[in-house]
């Protein structure tokens, strides 16, 4: 049990960060209630890449082996431009021969986290969209859309995602502009493992306006990403899949089987992203974690991993501190530098892949492959991919077995 004592904790959001935080805190003996706006909690979108960092948190939850069975081991990242010149070429093995990432379908990750949450003592209240938090001395009560109050809680963990309503409500000084580009994404069968075989996250780009990604996510499936301006992704605006199919086949003819399936299935999810920067992690007893605190573009594939690390760091900070104020300060000290780095690095890198600035595409094609081979830069780029950066000048190392060592 933590030295803070047993806390009443409310967690808003049953996504990656919220479920991990709720489970870890309930395991530590805190009394946890999770609020989810949907009647049936569910994942949205296709697949994602878990880094050694996120996998370490899944291991702490006892979920790593199941995740590895469901997902696909990824050995690195390969990007080519439309002329098939290398743009990116990074390998986890540079960090440790046993290191890898894991491509996994969101549905699989969600089921694992949700099953584990259900086994814990945390209580889940669904169909409860939280619209406000009312302070009550040092405690906080959450208010749902129907006006029902829940609490009071010693700690409210706001894990309500990149488009967080609580952030808007409680931290009006936070910045969270939308990126001008987003993407569509779908998961399709790769029955002949044409794309899965090299076990790579692969990308093809043409300038900065055309980008496609293919990520094996296990069980002979691949998630396909296609970049589009955010304006084209507005709800209700139709996407011309025939035009997309034509353009995608021109960019990546070898992926014809996957492109045809995606074009015919017509089940693309749409995603827009925000560049989230908070002035501080908490407003009194309300702490923001996950995308609500540091949403970025997915260019570096870190968001879910950062959310899992937040969840773990919160449970450790509460265990190591004498009171809540000290615990939240310790949490901020541990999580501030890495999440700031990934937010800044994603923001710097994104226009080289998604923007209306063709010169950035030319610079990317000319310089990035060189950087991937340069002795000083390659280790930095690989540790960035693996989620190991603490900041621009420092990074964590993997342990003797090639795994990420979590803070005790
Ligand atoms: C195209 C794309 C590709 C990506 N690829 C990767 C990748 O390869 N690797 C990676 O690590 N990350 C990736 N990400 C990022 C990753 O998806 C997010 O960082 C991660 O899902 C954030 O988790 P979260 O728990 O903070 O928020 P979410 O997963 O968004 O969960 C928020 C939860 O809160 C609920 N909620 C929202 N508002 C309320 C409310 N008011 N009341 C109650 N409940 C509420 C929602 O319904 C949801 O269940 C990608 C993102 C995109 C868009």
Kindly report the CATH number assigned to the domain that includes residue 36: 3.50.50.60
Instruction: Give the residue from 360, 336, 356 showing the smallest Cα distance to 348.
Output: 360
Residue nearest to atom 27 of ligand 1 (CA): 161
- For residue 223, the CA-to-ligand 1 centroid distance in Å is 17
Q: Report the pLDDT averaged over residues 35-64.
A: 93
Q: Is the CB of 130 under 6 A from ligand 1?
A: yes
In a domain, 118, yes or no: yes
Q: What is the per-residue burial (b if ≥16 Cβ within 10 Å, else e) of 208-220? A: bbbbbbbbbbbbe
The one-character DSSP state at 350 is G
Q: Give the residue-averaged pLDDT of 59-87.
A: 96
Q: Is the CB of 55 under 6 A from ligand 1?
A: no
pLDDT of residue 137 exceeding 90, the answer is no
Nearest CA to ligand 1 atom 9: 301
Question: How many whole angstroms separate alpha carbon 70 and alpha carbon 67?
Answer: 5
Rounded CA separation 85/103 (Å) = 25
pLDDT in tens, 2-29: 478 899 999 999 999 999 999 999 999 9
Judge if the beta carbon of residue 16 lies within 6 A of ligand 1. Answer: yes
The percentage of the chain sitting over the pLDDT mark of 90, rounded to a whole number, equals 88
- CA 209 to CA 405: how far, in whole Å? 38
Going by pLDDT thresholds of 50, 70 and 90, the confidence category of residue 195 is low
Residue 303 Cβ inside 6 Å of ligand 1? The answer reads yes
- Is the pLDDT at 387 greater than 90, yes or no? yes
Measured in Å, residue 396 CA sits from the centre of ligand 1 at 25
- How much is the average pLDDT of 338-347? 96
Q: 136 lies in a domain?
A: yes
Q: Where are the alpha helices (DSSP H) in 295-352?
A: 303-320, 324-349
48: left (phi over 0), alpha (psi -120 to 50) or beta: beta
Residue 298 falls within a domain, yes or no? yes
Q: What is the mean pLDDT of the chain?
A: 94
Model confidence at 79: pLDDT above 50: yes
Q: What is the pLDDT of residue 294?
A: 97
Instruction: Grade residue 408 by pLDDT with cuts at 50, 70 and 90.
Output: confident
Please give the number of the atom of ligand 1 that sits closest to the Cα of 164.
38
Mutate which of 15, 33, 72 for ligand 1? The one with the most ligand atoms within 8 Å of its CB, which is 15
Residue 1 pLDDT greater than 50, yes or no: no
Task: Report the separation in Å between the CA atom of 326 and the middle of ligand 1, taken as the mean of its atom positions.
Answer: 28
Pocket flag, ligand 1, residue 302 (CB < 6 Å): yes
pLDDT at 197 (0 to 100): 60
Q: Is 160 in the pocket of ligand 1 (CB under 6 A)?
A: yes
Q: What percent of the chain has pLDDT over 70?
A: 98
Evaluate if residue 93 carries a pLDDT over 90.
yes
Dist. CA 161 → ligand 1 center (Å): 5
Average pLDDT over residues 34-48: 88
- Contact (CB, 8 A) for 190 and 222: yes
Asked whether residue 385 is assigned to any structural domain, the reply reads: no
Residue to probe by mutation, ligand 1, list 291, 296, 338, 345, most atoms within 8 Å of CB: 291
Best of 38, 43, 226, 304 to mutate for ligand 1, by most ligand atoms within 8 A of CB?
304
pLDDT at 57: 98
Q: Does 182 contact ligand 1 (Cβ within 6 A)?
A: no
Q: Is 49 in the pocket of ligand 1 (CB under 6 A)?
A: yes
Pocket test for ligand 1, best of 111, 203, 303 (most atoms within 8 A of CB): 303
342 pLDDT more than 80: yes
| Candidate of 42, 48, 215, 342 to mutate for ligand 1, largest count of ligand atoms within 8 Å of Cβ | 48
- Which of 165, 146, 121 lies closest to 13 in space, CA to CA? 165
Residue 326 in any domain: the answer is yes
Residue 376 inside a domain? The answer is no
Decide if 63 is inside a domain.
yes
For residue 144, the ligand 1 atom closest to its alpha carbon is 42
Count: domains in the chain: 1
Q: Are 290 and 343 in contact (CB under 8 A)?
A: no
pLDDT at 75: 96
Q: Which range is least confidently modeled, 192-196, 287-291, 318-322?
A: 192-196
How confident is the model at residue 2, as a pLDDT? 47
190 lines ligand 1 (CB under 6 A): no
For residue 405, the cross-strand partners are none
Q: Could you identify the atom of ligand 1 that is nearest to the CA of residue 13? A: 34
Q: Is the CB of 52 under 6 A from ligand 1?
A: no
Ligand 1 pocket mutation, candidates 16, 23, 41, 43, criterion most atoms within 8 A of CB: 16
394 belongs to a structural domain: no
Mean pLDDT score, 369-380: 92
Domain that holds residue 161: 8-72+104-177+274-351
């Amino acid at each position: 049990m933590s030295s803070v004592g047993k806390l009443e904790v409310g967690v808003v959001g049953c996504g990656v960060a919220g479920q991990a935080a709720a489970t870890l805190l309930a395991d530590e003996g805190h009394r946890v209630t999770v609020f989810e706006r949907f009647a049936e909690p569910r994942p949205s979108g296709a697949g994602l890449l878990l880094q050694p960092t996120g996998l370490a948190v899944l291991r702490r939850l006892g979920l790593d082996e199941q995740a590895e069975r469901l997902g696909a081991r990824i050995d690195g990242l390969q990007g080519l431009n439309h002329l098939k010149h290398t743009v990116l070429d990074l390998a986890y093995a540079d960090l440790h021969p046993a290191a890898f990432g894991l491509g996994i379908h969101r549905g699989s990750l969600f089921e694992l986290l949700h099953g584990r949450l259900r086994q814990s003592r945390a209580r889940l209240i669904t169909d409860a969209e939280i619209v406000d938090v009312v302070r009550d001395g040092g405690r906080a009560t959450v208010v749902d859309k129907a006006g029902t109050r829940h609490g009071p809680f010693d700690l409210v963990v706001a894990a309500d995602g990149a488009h967080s309503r609580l952030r808007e409500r409680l931290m009006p000084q936070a910045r969270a502009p939308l990126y001008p580009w987003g993407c569509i994404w779908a998961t399709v069968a790769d029955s002949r493992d044409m794309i899965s075989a090299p076990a790579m996250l692969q990308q093809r780009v043409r300038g900065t306006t055309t980008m496609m990604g293919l990520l094996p996510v296990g069980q002979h499936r691949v998630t396909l990403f296609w970049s589009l301006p955010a304006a084209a992704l507005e709800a209700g605006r139709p996407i011309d899949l025939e035009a997309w199919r034509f353009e995608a086949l021109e960019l990546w003819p070898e992926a014809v089987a996957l492109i045809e399936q995606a074009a015919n299935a017509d089940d693309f999810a749409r995603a827009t992203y925000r560049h989230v920067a908070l002035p501080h992690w908490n407003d009194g007893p309300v702490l923001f974690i996950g995308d609500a605190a540091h949403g970025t573009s997915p260019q570096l594939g870190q968001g879910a991993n950062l959310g899992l690390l937040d969840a773990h760091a919160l449970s450790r900070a509460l265990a190591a501190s004498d009171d809540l104020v000290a615990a939240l300060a310790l949490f901020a000290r541990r999580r501030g530098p890495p999440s700031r780095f990934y937010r800044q690095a994603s923001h710097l890198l994104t226009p080289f892949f998604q923007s209306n600035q063709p010169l950035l595409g030319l610079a990317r094609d000319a310089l990035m492959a060189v950087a991937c081979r340069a002795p000083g830069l390659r280790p930095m780029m690989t540790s960035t991919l693996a989620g190991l950066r603490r900041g621009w000048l420092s990074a964590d190392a993997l342990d003797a077995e090639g795994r990420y060592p979590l803070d005790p």
